[in-house]
Amino acid sequence: MRAVEIAERLRGRFADVLVARDEVTVVVDRADLHDALTSLCGDEELGLDFLSCVTATDWPERSPRYWVSYELYSMAHKHRLRLKVGLPEDDPRVPSVTPLYPTADWLERETFDLYGIVFEGHPHLARIMLPDGWEGHPLRKTEELGGVNTRFKGAFVPPVDRRET
């Protein structure tokens, strides 16, 4: 099924469906996330049964500030779809989708670790890439570009935007 055909099929169910660069994106409210994913997975003609990626983007000057993106794939039909949920700056949380897609376990942990998005109901939401004591979320655009303590004689490398040449 081509992207345009997938989009036409979904326009009756979802208010915000768009096609760009031959890719289909569906935007839903966080309260509708589980119902939307259940519907997409259960639709035999779409068969979006595999969650290949969960990630986020950060737009500090926009509302909503965060967008969580779910990349779905149909093993049977070999097509893809992206589902997005916008989250406000003061409430960056969304329901975990691990009950629907077990692959979400580590994907949600990575997004939590790097962006600070809280996946409510996740079975073990903890840092996965950074040390437990790490402060902040490095992929947020409000984080500094660099500057980490090195293990070389206690030296400190300043952030990129504060280095003297």
pLDDT in tens, 23-68: 999 999 999 999 999 999 999 999 999 999 999 999 999 999 999 9
Residues in the chain, total: 165
Do the bridges between strand 50-58 and strand 93-95 make them parallel or antiparallel, or are there none, so unpaired?
unpaired
Would you say 88 and 64 are in contact if contact means Cβ atoms under 8 Å apart?
Answer: yes
What domains sit in the chain, N to C, each tagged with a CATH number?
3-130 (3.30.460.80)
Do the bridges between strand 16-20 and strand 50-58 make them parallel or antiparallel, or are there none, so unpaired?
unpaired
Burial class of residue 50 (count of CB atoms within 10 Å of its CB; 0-12, 13-18, 19+): middle
Least confident of 31-40, 53-62, 130-139, 142-151: 142-151
92-112 pLDDT, tens digit per residue, is 999 999 999 999 999 999 999
Number of helices followed by number of strands (H, E) in the chain: 3, 7
Q: Which two tokens stand for residue 149?
A: 């303590």
Please state the φ and ψ torsions of residue 17, each to the nearest 5 degrees: -125, 130
> pTM for this structure?
0.87
Angle (CA) 102-119-3 rounded to 5° is 65
Alpha helices in 17-164 (DSSP H): 33-42, 104-115
The mean per-residue pLDDT over the stretch 122-128 comes to 94
Tokens 């004591």 label which residue?
133
Asked if pLDDT for residue 132 goes beyond 60, the answer is: yes
